[in-house]
Amino acid sequence: MNAPTIATELAQRITALRYDDLPSDAVHWAKVAIIDTLACALAGANEAGPRIAQKVARVYGAGGTVSLWGTDRRASALDAALINGTAGHALDYDDVNNTIGGHPSVPLLPAIIALGEMTGASGRDVLLAYVTGFEAQAAIGKAVNVYHYRKGWHPTATLGVFGAAAACARLLNLDVARTATALAIAASLSSGIKANFGTMVKPLHAGHCSRNGLYAALMAKESFTAADDALEHHQGFFEMFNGAGNYDAQKALTTWANPLDLLNPGIGLKQYPCCASTHSAIDAALILRERHQLTPERIAKIETVTHAPALAHTNRPDPKTALDAKFSVQYCVARALMHGAVTFDHFEDDALIEPRLRALLSRVTANTHPNAPKDMAEHYQGVVNVTTTEGKTYSARVDQPLRGPRNLAPPDRLESKFKDCASRALRPDALPRLYEMLTALETLANVGALTDFMAAAANVAGGGARRAAA
């Protein structure tokens, strides 16, 4: 008898998960992640990229009944997963995870909610599907990282597609064989390269993998076939994406949910709407600004020090677009020193040509940390050195800028971020009730009540803070 394949063994673990077996901390952090992800999607719904995706779906799609978040429009489940996923990552404000080396929730939630609307899923169903998908993509991440990340793949997409497929398979109650097939289909639908960071394609990666994971599960449900060994085959996912000697397939199985990756290392909630690899430097700059009362006029020179894997996509001394600026450590540090904050307004297109900003930006240099990071957690470490016009040099280092289970945010931070984001698409009077529904998600009988409420609350007349022409 042949040994079970990796996909089959993962499927056995996926189908075994039950809501009642989830620890209370896992339910709590799943809700935190869902609230944060939905907030980011509402804030991004009216950005140009998601609106173009909406236009393409309207013109070339078949229509449907699934909600497009932040609007009163509907689309097919597959189109909705793509559009809502693109919106969720449009501002690069959504959570991150060290195991996958990317954004864990944005591939999952749009697919889960789209399918949940179609099937009448409860809040408990949604939470179980979320945890299942999170653990599945983390399992693949353990097998391929950090080589996968450093090679240039965008793990949010290349690994997220497995999470979305697993989550949707669980929501559909697929058996082991069909769940394994969904994972095998996902292996051929995995894609996403870092060359497209700083453009609309990066958030499209998130929508695309959410849509593809849902598609893989739906195809498996209808008895579509795929290779059982699509992961470990000599021309399968591991070999093609990482290459021989650069992965350990058994790691996908040996540490499955023990402990739950959602809790350790868990999620990192972003405090600023830009690339996570800039956040330590932002925090360090804010520390220096407050500690030494720094103003742009007092600053002669700024040096940032970032580990090489992060600097590869954040060394952008002259950003040309708002999306480009989100990946510029130089720009983000300059804004932090100027304002004592990094906000949505700093990534509007006209912000890039502000003369005072440009003058300070010209004084920023980005250098590589002399040591390689030991793991994805150390990857986020950042140092900022500021030399003043009086000739004094001040330095600050931040190791972990992201808030999560091991680096808690102030209790009200999640709610304030949620309301700040959601108010860009929904009527302000609806936000307290929506937040209440989300914090009690496990009591919701049908997720359609949540999406119907959002559709009714959409700021259709105003169209959100930035209603780009489509």
Token pair, residue 450, equals 């949540």
Across residues 157-185, what is the average pLDDT?
Answer: 98
Residue 419 lies in a domain: no
What is the C-alpha to C-alpha distance for residues 464 and 44, in angstroms, rounded to an integer? Answer: 9
Nearest to 50 by CA among 15, 90, 21: 90
State residue 426's pLDDT score.
Answer: 97
pLDDT band per the 50, 70, 90 thresholds, residue 95: very high
Residue 440 lies in a domain: no
Residue 338's domain spans which residues? 276-398
State residue 377's pLDDT score.
Answer: 64
What's the pTM value of the predicted model, to 2 decimals?
A: 0.92
* Percent of the chain predicted with pLDDT > 70: 95
Work out whether strand 364-368 and strand 299-306 pair parallel, antiparallel, or are unpaired. Answer: parallel
Asked if 374 and 296 sit in the same domain, the reply is yes
Is the distance from CB of 77 to CB of 113 less than 8 angstroms? no
Residue 225 lies in a domain: yes
Residue 445 lies in a domain: no
Asked if 75 and 188 sit in the same domain, the reply is yes
Across residues 245-250, what is the average pLDDT?
Answer: 97
| Number of compact structural domains in the chain | 2
Look at residue 153 and tell me whether its pLDDT is greater than 60: yes
Token pair, residue 374, equals 């030991």
Across residues 277-281, what is the average pLDDT?
Answer: 93
Counting Cβ atoms within 10 Å, is residue 390 exposed (0-12), middle (13-18) or buried (19+)?
exposed
Residue 458 lies in a domain: no
Region of poorest pLDDT, from 211-215, 228-232, 280-284, 376-380:
376-380
Last-in-domain residue among 202, 232, 266: 266
Residue 384 lies in a domain: yes
One-letter amino acid at 200 equals M
State residue 402's pLDDT score.
Answer: 66
State residue 101's pLDDT score.
Answer: 93
Token pair, residue 399, equals 């190791």
| Mean residue pLDDT across the chain | 93
Last-in-domain residue among 398, 421, 452: 398
Residue 373 lies in a domain: yes
State residue 342's pLDDT score.
Answer: 95
What is the C-alpha to C-alpha distance for residues 430 and 415, in angstroms, rounded to an integer? Answer: 14
Residue 313 lies in a domain: yes
Asked if 240 and 93 sit in the same domain, the reply is yes
Across residues 315-333, what is the average pLDDT?
Answer: 94
The string of pLDDT tens digits covering residues 397-415 is: 998 776 777 676 677 789 9
State residue 385's pLDDT score.
Answer: 97
The string of pLDDT tens digits covering residues 189-216 is: 999 999 999 999 999 999 999 999 999 9
DSSP conformational letter for 173: T
Across residues 160-173, what is the average pLDDT?
Answer: 98
CATH of the domain at 227: 1.10.4100.10
What is the C-alpha to C-alpha distance for residues 217 and 87, in angstroms, rounded to an integer? Answer: 22
One-letter amino acid at 123 equals G
CATH of the domain at 346: 3.30.1330.120
* Percent of the chain predicted with pLDDT > 90: 86
Higher pLDDT, 158 or 381: 158
